Structure 1
Amino acid sequence: MKNLSICLISFISLFFFSIVIFFFSIFFIMNDYSVFIEWEVISFNSMNIVMTLLFDWMSLIFMSFVLLISSLVIFYSKEYMEMDYKIIRFIMLVLMFVISMMLLIISPNLISILLGWDGLGLISYCLVIYFQNIKSYNAGMLTVLSNRIGDVALLLAIAWMLNYGSWNYVFYLEFMKNNTEMMMIGVLIMLAAMTKSAQIPFSSWLPAAMAAPTPVSALVHSSTLVTAGIYLLIRFNILLSSTWMSNLLLLLASLTMFMSGMGANFEFDLKKIIALSTLSQLGLMMSILSMNYYKLAFFHLLTHALFKALLFMCAGAIIHNMNNNQDIRLMGSLMLMMPLTSSCFNVANLALCGMPFLAGFYSKDLILEMVSLSYINFFSFFLYFFSTGLTVCYSFRLVYYTMTNNSHFSSLNMLNDESWVMLKSMLGLLIMSIFGGSMLNWLMFSTPIVIILPIYLKLLTLMVCIFGAFFGYMISNISFMFFNKSMNNYNVSKFLGSMWFMPYISTYGIINYSLIIGKFTLKSFDQGWLEYFGGQKIYLNLINKSKFNQFIQNNNLKIYMLIFVLWMMILFMLIYF
């Protein structure tokens, strides 16, 4: 009972703060208003430690969305994690996670950003290893080691900022843009954002992080951990004005989008498919950000948070009912047994595909039309639209396997829609997934954006989605009903389905060999040559000298006579020669 009351108090508090902050964000948007707070924590002689906070429409609206999703996730966990004896610890970890994200969102200072950034990394590790088995530990280690690269990049950026005399980057962005030497900060921030948002070549940790409980996945993959990198780059968007940096980011982000879309079409784990769809959407945000449309990237960040959290919650409800089974090949006919959950799942899926007038449509369609309008090379243009088709393809493949196909689960099962606590939290996000896109569109873009394109470019997005849906459904049907064509080309399927062998390279390659090299270095240098010529050598020399000294001081007359004779011989030779 005590556990449930903590869940309820946390839910009500976060939900209330979300609503209040959302109304504040509307006020800030309407009046083009920003608040910059400096709080002097300590002043000692000439040294000041100042905590700075930046409240503008962007930080406030993002905070309200994070609080809304986290409140519904905690309410959802009340039923999902009810068998867990340590549910209070789980809720505390989630709350610490949200606080770390809040700190990162409102910080215009690189030091306080690092506090939030490292807080996210550390608590995400605790949440990934929550179930405490070998798979979870391996996934947690991969997650934390991948993210350490970004943390180091952020630390180097902090060191580089010492050239300015302050870590408040908002004061120096314009100056950095025109200063070629200070482009180094842009490169480091880009590297940090790429590790946190899992862009190529740091993509392998994101599907591995699915070892965490499903409510955590819903929070992490919608609005907190993986979006932190995108948000940081949105704040530093001026630094992406450098051509080579934006081109490199565009290439890597487009390839991430393509790679994850391909991988999801070969995956059979329900949570991993949704994780790969998150990776695909992160690539979309990152690529449009590299083209300097930071408002569009932020718009898609918010709409994506709504339907992705809903998608994970629905997946969690399905897995919960199927005795923690995640294989989509065992699912089927869920629309008959779990109609409400299936409806929410399908709405979230259609929003992800960009179905007209759902949340994802407003941001995705706008992004693709802006891509059509921009000066962009054909390779990137192809990757944008082909990856969009792949998104619809794996979404309809998922619908085929889970909803319309015959059930391959046990004959005697308890599939039902009676988990009312989970359903209530899902229905809250369902409303936002339907109306959130249009609401944000009216809020963020005060003047209507009119994009005039030829009819074939205007309809290209719609046609790509229709073809993607058709191919996704039909290929799954043919593959499942007759013979599995993908197994005929096993090597190609293995390559595309395992994210271009990136997990193997990350785990067996980089991490494994790094640890082997570290062990060799430790044994050879720290415990080898450095010991022999360093501390151990001095120690042995001192022991030998002290032994000799003790030997001399034993008052033996023969030794004194021998030394006296030797000294006399040396003296005689020096005088004679």
Structure 2
Amino acid sequence: MLAILIIVPLIAAALLALLMRKLNSRLVGYVALTASIITLLLILGSFLNQSQVQSINWFSIGSYSLQISTLTAPLNMILLLLVGIMTPLIITYSIGFMHVRSEQSRYYFELCLFAAAMMLFAISADFITMFIAWELLGITSYLLIGFWYHNYGAAGAARKAITTILIGDMMMLAAILIIWSTYGTFSFSVILQQAGFHSAAMSAALTLIMFAAFTKSAQFPFHEWLPDAMKGPTPVSAFLHSSTMVKAGVFIVAVLLPLFAAYNMLHILLIFGIITAALGITNALAETNIKRVLAYSTLEDLGLMFVALGTGSLISAMLLLIVQTFYKALLFMSAGSIISVNGNEEDLRRLQNSAKYPSIFIPTVIAVASLAGIFPLSGFFGKAAVAASASASIPVYITLVIIAFASNIYIFRWLFMPLRRKNIASKTAQGLVHATIPRSMKISMYVLALLVLVGAIAYLYLPVYLLSYNPQPIIIGPVEVMISLALFAVALAIAYYAFYLKDYVIFPTGSLHKLLHNSEMTNDFYSYMARLCGIAGGVIESFDIAVYGFIKGAAHDVGSFAEMLKGIEDGSTRTYIAALVIGLAFILIIIIL
């Protein structure tokens, strides 16, 4: 059953690759959609076989057989189900969004591969299977982010993403080798049993795994590739930021959470999570691109997930992971629809009133309200659970409340900006007086809006479903509800006045803008470090050339001397006697002196 889950999207990808130039451009989307629906049905059927392990022998080295192992434990099934639900919704949205785009067959081929890689990652039972899926995720995300490779920005964003991810790949590979040399196994379950036995090797491996997870989940200081990934198609952004690759780092840390707790590394996760969330918020407050604001919002969400893991709360992290999947995908789909009716304009200052499109505006408001953590929407329970998990530390709790308030400000700013009558539309948008949204895009948005509304059910059932992991209980009481409503009311009033009624304070300028939009400083720092590495590389290369030249010259001199000595060997007895006498005389001189 588990093998079929991966095979179905792979077969669809192979079919699309073989018939890439023969299939109708619209038909390719339905081929991918059919495969994704079949896969979702198989996933739902696999819930009947909980905690089942399946292994396939890959190859053998001596007496050891390397296996591809999969597992249907509760944690694995949560991520698998999210990917299974999101894949057909993303493809359905893409059928409408990509209907005028070129190279659709390649797009759906890459999308199916990406989904298959994520599903394999979700049900991995050991490091080998996980690493194969980990690498496939990196490759396919590179292809999807750079899908419009003829656009220099998209190509550059893809290179930036794969470069950052490759750093994590090397760290993950090193960690796997350390674990194998220490324990002689790749199995997660066997390694987790060693949580009570500390070793320096495992500590080093966990450190490498943690930073590898940071590269995949865009945590500081590896976060800047994520906003640039917005150069890809909007459905890719929705998929990437909701249930797929950016969740991979969070998930692998969640799987190994007992080890991180045993080695006293949770506080590191907490610190990096808070830093990343803060960076996401400050940049979102100053950003003008409708998709990049949501990208920085994803940084905040991912940071909060690591904060939850840093407090040791598996339930809080997974609850936020679940609810964020739905509201973030809906926000990106809403952004894509707004962009479409505005002639592909992405600048918040030039977007026209989206309220005149109820099919866009209503789902957008639902998603915004959920991200803002308004009770009783699913987003409230996800973010309140994270805050509740950190309530034992007053400074951390206050920090999370400030983060929640700031996130309300930027998302209401994001909502109100396109509603302003003062916005100056682009010439292309001015010509789209009666723009329409394809039905397939509306269907995906409506389904996601429904999932956002009912997603709070996860708060009730998740603790029971994850009972085998002995999770810390999370209780959200009236205090959290009152704080949420107070933050919502104040932020809404400020945002409505500042970003809708007035023109000032909309986009900070000068020093304040540079402080908030610190991604520019981060990129400048990376560029500076790259130049330093280039200079260091040049110095090392010059040293290598000098050493090589010296060795080559010495070898040439020795060869020349050998050729000279070779001329002495002429077969003449007189020459040999003369050489012997000269040699003896030279030795005597050395002895006497």
TM-score, normalised with respect to structure 2: 0.86
- Distance in structure 1 (CA, Å) of the matches to 2:353 and 2:293: 19
- Aligned equivalent of 2:365, options 342, 346, 355: 346
Number of aligned positions between the proteins: 556
Describe how 1:179-258 pairs up with structure 2 within 5 A: 179-181=198-200, 182-242=202-262, 244-258=264-278
Q: Is the 8 A contact 2:316 2:474 kept in 1?
A: no
Tell me, yes or no, if structure 1 residue 12 matches structure 2 residue 34: yes
Distance apart, 1:479 and its partner CA: 5.3
Task: Tell me the equivalent position of 2:493.
Answer: 470
Task: Tell me the equivalent position of 1:437.
Answer: 456
Larger mean CA deviation between 119-128 and 44-53 belongs to 44-53
Distance apart, 1:394 and its partner CA: 0.8
Stretches of structure 1 that go unaligned for 5 or more consecutive residues are: none
- Distance in structure 2 (CA, Å) of the matches to 1:371 and 1:575: 88
One-letter amino acid of the counterpart of residue 371, structure 1: A
Task: Tell me the equivalent position of 2:76.
Answer: 59
Distance apart, 1:140 and its partner CA: 2.1
User: RMSD across aligned C-alpha pairs, in angstroms?
Assistant: 2.8
Distance apart, 1:234 and its partner CA: 0.6
Q: Is the 8 A contact 2:281 2:410 kept in 1?
A: yes
Q: Is the 8 A contact 2:387 2:397 kept in 1?
A: no
Tell me, yes or no, if structure 1 residue 154 matches structure 2 residue 167: no
Larger mean CA deviation between 15-24 and 280-289 belongs to 15-24
Q: Is the 8 A contact 2:92 2:444 kept in 1?
A: yes
Q: Is the 8 A contact 1:18 1:65 kept in 2?
A: no
Distance apart, 1:370 and its partner CA: 3.4
CA pair 226-483 structure 1, distance change in 2 beyond 3 A: closer
Task: Tell me the equivalent position of 1:123.
Answer: 140
- Distance in structure 2 (CA, Å) of the matches to 1:141 and 1:550: 58
Q: Is the 8 A contact 1:254 1:283 kept in 2?
A: yes
Tell me, yes or no, if structure 1 residue 403 matches structure 2 residue 427: no
Larger mean CA deviation between 223-232 and 102-111 belongs to 102-111
- Distance in structure 2 (CA, Å) of the matches to 1:452 and 1:357: 12
Distance apart, 1:279 and its partner CA: 0.6
Distance apart, 1:393 and its partner CA: 0.7
One-letter amino acid of the counterpart of residue 578, structure 2: V
Q: Is the 8 A contact 1:334 1:342 kept in 2?
A: yes
Q: Is the 8 A contact 1:335 1:404 kept in 2?
A: no
Task: Tell me the equivalent position of 2:305.
Answer: 285
One-letter amino acid of the counterpart of residue 242, structure 2: S
Q: Is the 8 A contact 2:198 2:263 kept in 1?
A: no
- Aligned equivalent of 2:157, options 130, 135, 139: 139
Larger mean CA deviation between 84-93 and 400-409 belongs to 400-409
Task: Tell me the equivalent position of 2:354.
Answer: 334
Distance apart, 1:406 and its partner CA: 4.1
Task: Tell me the equivalent position of 1:368.
Answer: 387
Other structure's SS at 1:265 match: helix
- Distance in structure 2 (CA, Å) of the matches to 1:572 and 1:513: 58
- Distance in structure 2 (CA, Å) of the matches to 1:354 and 1:452: 13
Tell me, yes or no, if structure 1 residue 387 matches structure 2 residue 403: yes
**How big is each residue's C-alpha offset from its partner over 1:319-355, in whole Å with a ceiling of 9 and x where there is no partner?**
223222210100131111x221122222111111122
Distance apart, 1:498 and its partner CA: 2.6
Distance apart, 1:551 and its partner CA: 5.4
Distance apart, 1:44 and its partner CA: 5.5
Describe how 1:486-501 pairs up with structure 2 within 5 A: 486-487=508-509, 490-499=510-519, 501=521
- Distance in structure 2 (CA, Å) of the matches to 1:70 and 1:513: 42
Q: Is the 8 A contact 2:270 2:310 kept in 1?
A: yes
Q: Is the 8 A contact 2:216 2:246 kept in 1?
A: yes
Q: Is the 8 A contact 2:75 2:255 kept in 1?
A: no
Describe how 1:258-297 pairs up with structure 2 within 5 A: 258-297=278-317
Q: Is the 8 A contact 2:288 2:349 kept in 1?
A: yes
Q: Is the 8 A contact 2:278 2:300 kept in 1?
A: yes
Distance apart, 1:291 and its partner CA: 0.6
Other structure's SS at 1:49 match: strand
Distance apart, 1:543 and its partner CA: 5.1
Tell me, yes or no, if structure 1 residue 544 matches structure 2 residue 560: yes
Task: Tell me the equivalent position of 1:88.
Answer: 105
Task: Tell me the equivalent position of 2:475.
Answer: 451
CA pair 227-172 structure 1, distance change in 2 beyond 3 A: same
- Distance in structure 2 (CA, Å) of the matches to 1:303 and 1:109: 27
Other structure's SS at 1:335 match: helix
Q: Is the 8 A contact 1:221 1:309 kept in 2?
A: yes
Larger mean CA deviation between 177-186 and 70-79 belongs to 177-186
- Distance in structure 1 (CA, Å) of the matches to 2:267 and 2:358: 46
Other structure's SS at 1:459 match: helix
One-letter amino acid of the counterpart of residue 139, structure 1: A
CA pair 333-552 structure 1, distance change in 2 beyond 3 A: same
CA pair 563-266 structure 1, distance change in 2 beyond 3 A: same
Distance apart, 1:407 and its partner CA: 4.2
- Distance in structure 2 (CA, Å) of the matches to 1:101 and 1:158: 19
Task: Tell me the equivalent position of 1:111.
Answer: 128
- Distance in structure 1 (CA, Å) of the matches to 2:377 and 2:131: 36
